[in-house]
Amino acid sequence: MIGAFKKIWDFAGSERKNINKSVAVSFLNAVFHMFEVGAIYFIILALTEGERGTQPAWTALALMLVSVIGCGVTTSVSKMQQTHAGYFMAANERITIGNRLKSVPMGFFNENSLGEVTGVCTTVLGNIESMVPMVLVNILGGLIGTVVFTAMLLVFDWRIGLIALAGMLLYFAVLSSMQRRSAAIAPDAQKSQTELTAAVLEYVQGMSVVKSFHLSGRGDKKLQDALEYSRRSNLEMEELLTPYSILQELILQVAGTGMMLAAVLCWINGTQTLAGALMSIVMSFLVFGQIKLFGMGVTMLRLAASGIDRTLETEHMEQMDERGEALSPKNHEITFENVHFLYENREILHGISVTLPDKTTTAVIGPSGSGKTTLVNLIARFWDTDSGCVKIGGRDVRDYTLESLMNQISMVFQNVYLFADTIENNIKFGKPDATHEQVAEAARKACCDDFIEALPDGYQTVIGEGGATLSGGEKQRISIARAMLKDAPIVILDEATANVDPENEDRLQKAIEALTRDKTIVMIAHRLKTVKNADQILVVDDGRIVQQGKHQDLIGQPGIYADFVLGRREAAGWKL
């Protein structure tokens, strides 16, 4: 238990001060409960001694008022401190994970399920933020209350106090055994929850595929397995805890009955007054009520600690070295020097050496899986090379801080992601301090001002997560407007016009050409009109540059580029 509590303490970080305040206030809360016991004692004493005056009643009332007000205030303050600690330690960890993900190589998201991280940030940390306050309330309050009431019993009548103490020791022994047993399966229960979250997330995101192939009930085996795993692990936990819970309750009932019998026997043989015997019976209910709270807290403590262990596994995510400088190069020539890159122990790029001159356009083409996207992403340091280096302005990209590196680059992906926010904020994502006029100008150049202004709230229209409420072409144009507004000296385009409507393609192409003038442009392209005007064309195949030059140089050479041009011309000749 101490080890599990230490995990919460270490995990709390800056919230430890609130836990400390909660401990102090919990002690005061137990003291105020003692006034309640005192009020009961005065009433019992008056009744057993036949006192008919109002003084005992007024004394008991005063003590009860002090107890009720004191307990109310201390309980409120204590719970506020504990709730603050629980929610903010979870919030701080979510921020930490978010910051850590910024430095994770993009390859991480292929090797690890995004649902796993989502499960930690939602289900696991959600359990932590709700359980930690209850753990602190029950353990701290129950332990302090148990100690205080046991001390009172020992002082009041040591014989009855010893019976209560014996019951507590047996209770703690059973509780300790239960914790040792549950420690073995608690991590499995936590894992089942994160896997269930991951499976549900994947199933919902792939719902269009499920429906289009009519796979509901058949194609969701992974989801069904995750549900079964969650059901089985939770049942195992309950089946383990239930016998222990019954035994704990039985021990407390037997101990409580023993205290009552002892109190009656002591009164019968004259070693205890009637008031003392009745008070001992009352105390038997109060003292064991506190220890039950403690036991509930310890049971939840194991789950909370297991959740913390699960969360801390995210610390082992691979991080890129960010010990760079805030650089701003005078020129933006991009150089690959003998670059080798491996993915899952398979070499993707084999000794790439090429220069992309400053303020020129380089088109990268090649068959699917040739390594062209990997090549381009190394510029933005989505991954780090395994050997060799990529340089911008004569400096290795690893010499830059991540922030200063990304200040040099604007990227437009083929698969666009937009945030659940206003259209204006999505366009301003790369330049948060941009004015509305600058946003509108970028949107106009990206040919998306017409459909934006047609929306009910215009630029303040909130779009769904991932841009779900927009068409593919609309999302693509907003992404291009975002890159235009950032106005970085290097622009990377991954087939930027892939999802653009034919009637807007020419306008958009001219806008891109105008905005990218005097910049270093790298584009992955599949359209002939995009490629043939490039200053340099790189043909990538099987992780190597197999052809390099201008359109007029490569068109006369047998190879992939000539086949590419021929294929595009044949496709353009097809008519319905």
Same-domain pairing of 230 and 131:
yes
Question: pLDDT tens digits for 144-179?
Answer: 777 777 787 777 778 888 888 888 889 888 888 887
24 within domain boundaries: yes
Same-domain pairing of 302 and 334:
no
231 within domain boundaries: yes
430 within domain boundaries: no
Token reading at 284:
């038997």
CA-wise closest residue to 168 among 261, 251, 281, 279 = 251
Type of residue numbered 425: N
Same-domain pairing of 133 and 282:
yes
Boundary residue ending a domain (267, 293, 315): 315
Q: What is the pLDDT of residue 411?
A: 85
More confidently predicted of 139 and 373: 373
Beta pairing, strands 387-392 & 361-365: unpaired
474 within domain boundaries: no
The CATH number that applies at residue 339 is: 3.40.50.300
The CATH number that applies at residue 161 is: 1.20.1560.10
Boundary residue ending a domain (298, 315, 332): 315
Determine whether 502 is exposed, middle or buried from the number of CB atoms within 10 Å of its CB (0-12, 13-18, 19+): exposed
Residue 544 CA to residue 275 CA, distance in Å, equals 94
Same-domain pairing of 311 and 332:
no
CA-wise closest residue to 284 among 171, 141, 161, 172 = 161
More confidently predicted of 307 and 410: 410
223 within domain boundaries: yes
Token reading at 114:
């995004």
Residue 65 zone, left/alpha/beta (φ > 0; ψ -120 to 50; rest): alpha
Into how many domains does the chain fold? 2
Reported as a pLDDT band with limits 50, 70 and 90, residue 530 is confident
- pTM score, whole prediction: 0.64
Boundary residue ending a domain (257, 288, 315): 315
Q: Are 75 and 138 in contact (CB under 8 A)?
A: no
Token reading at 129:
């933020």
Same-domain pairing of 291 and 378:
no
Question: pLDDT tens digits for 358-372?
Answer: 999 899 988 888 888
Same-domain pairing of 375 and 249:
no
520 within domain boundaries: no
Same-domain pairing of 15 and 70:
yes
Same-domain pairing of 300 and 378:
no
Same-domain pairing of 336 and 205:
no
Rg over CA atoms, the chain: 35
262 within domain boundaries: yes
Question: pLDDT tens digits for 536-561?
Answer: 999 999 999 999 999 888 888 888 88
| CA angle, 468 then 474 then 476, to 5° | 95
Task: Provide the domain limits for residue 557.
Answer: 324-408+525-576
Same-domain pairing of 13 and 100:
yes
Same-domain pairing of 249 and 161:
yes
Q: What is the pLDDT of residue 574?
A: 44
- Answer yes or no: is pLDDT of 576 > 50: no
Question: pLDDT tens digits for 195-231?
Answer: 777 777 667 666 655 555 555 555 567 777 888 888 8
More confidently predicted of 574 and 22: 22
Q: Read off the pLDDT of each residue in 247-251 and give the average, rounded to a whole number.
A: 89
Cα torsion angle, 274, 278, 279, 284, sign: positive
Same-domain pairing of 294 and 365:
no
78 within domain boundaries: yes
Token reading at 343:
């993915």
